[in-house]
Amino acid sequence: MHTAVRTEVHWIRGCRYCLTVVGDGPRDALLLHGFPDAPANMMGLAHGLAQRGWRVAVPYLRGYGLSESSPGADLSLAGLAADVGELLDALGFQHTLLVGHDWGSAVAQAAADGPRVAGVALLSVPPIPWLIAGLPRDPGQLRRSAYMGAFQVPGAVRALQATGGTYVDRLWRSWSPRFQASEAQLAAARRALAPPGALATALGYYRALWPRRPARWRASLAITNRPLPVPALVLGGTDDACIGPGFFRGDPTAAFAQRHQVTLIEGAGHFLPVEAPRAVLAAIDAFFGRPEGAQ
């Protein structure tokens, strides 16, 4: 089956967003990558969805790869959610499924109440209220999440740059201990963080989680503390060494306002889009259904 593929550039909140669009089906999906990662590692899911009848867009997030950021840009979850809303407007997407991995999952959750969003599939990061509630009670997760604190330290960007990109390989191996990533997958993630300013912007996402700018921080907290307002599929890996599987169990009334499903994929680590693409696609098929008329 031939699947149409094209690249597009859109100006979103004053900065260039570069993306790939796959397929021309009647239903829309936006795939959002994580850290340290790249759109290239979401393309297996994109092509799988396109073959099922979806029109799929896969952007570089703000500041990664070919997408731009700017000094003082709003990198809070509220700001990144606003990027998603404007991007959907620019694409003309309607009733969109947001598929987010890692940071993309957090952004999808923040953007879920947008008027063009019909559902979310959250990979490797569970509902944020579950994380907030569970983190103080889990010393193991506090240790696993210590890198987030390290990213707050002045000089963190220079320290990571000094590794020549090997920090990407190290995080992939650590977070998915049973998965052997290919050189192409790791190289794509390194390239996305190699342009001037890209790594500083990526760490800026983490820094915006702290209340350095109280108004932005409070807006993000309000968004992420509300139950998800659209149908939600949540997928994790039983062997995820970044976010423990226990965080995929919590009070559904705190996390969901619509129908939902939470599933752990046996034997998978953190990087579900490349470790378990068939399982992810099957779960999306079962929960959201295929576009009408798709084979």
- Cα gap 112→77, rounded to integer Å: 12
221: in domain: yes
258: in domain: yes
294: in domain: no
According to DSSP, the residues that pair with 5 across neighbouring strands are 22
CATH number for the domain harbouring residue 173: 3.40.50.1820
91: in domain: yes
Q: Structural domain of residue 60, as residue ranges?
A: 5-288
- How much is the pTM? 0.96
Q: Which helix (H) or strand (E) holds 217?
A: helix 214-224
- Cα gap 284→292, rounded to integer Å: 15
C-alpha distances out from residue 44 to 107, 120, 133, Å: 20, 18, 33
Tens digits of per-residue pLDDT, 56-88? Answer: 999 999 999 999 999 999 999 999 999 999 999
Tens digits of per-residue pLDDT, 242-295? Answer: 999 999 999 999 999 999 999 999 999 999 999 999 999 999 999 999 886 555
SS3 content of the chain, % helix, strand, coil (to 5): 45, 20, 40
- Position 158, amino acid: R
Task: Report how many domains make up the chain.
Answer: 1
Which of 265, 287, 286, 284 shows the shortest CA–CA distance to 276?
265
Largest CA distance in the chain: 54
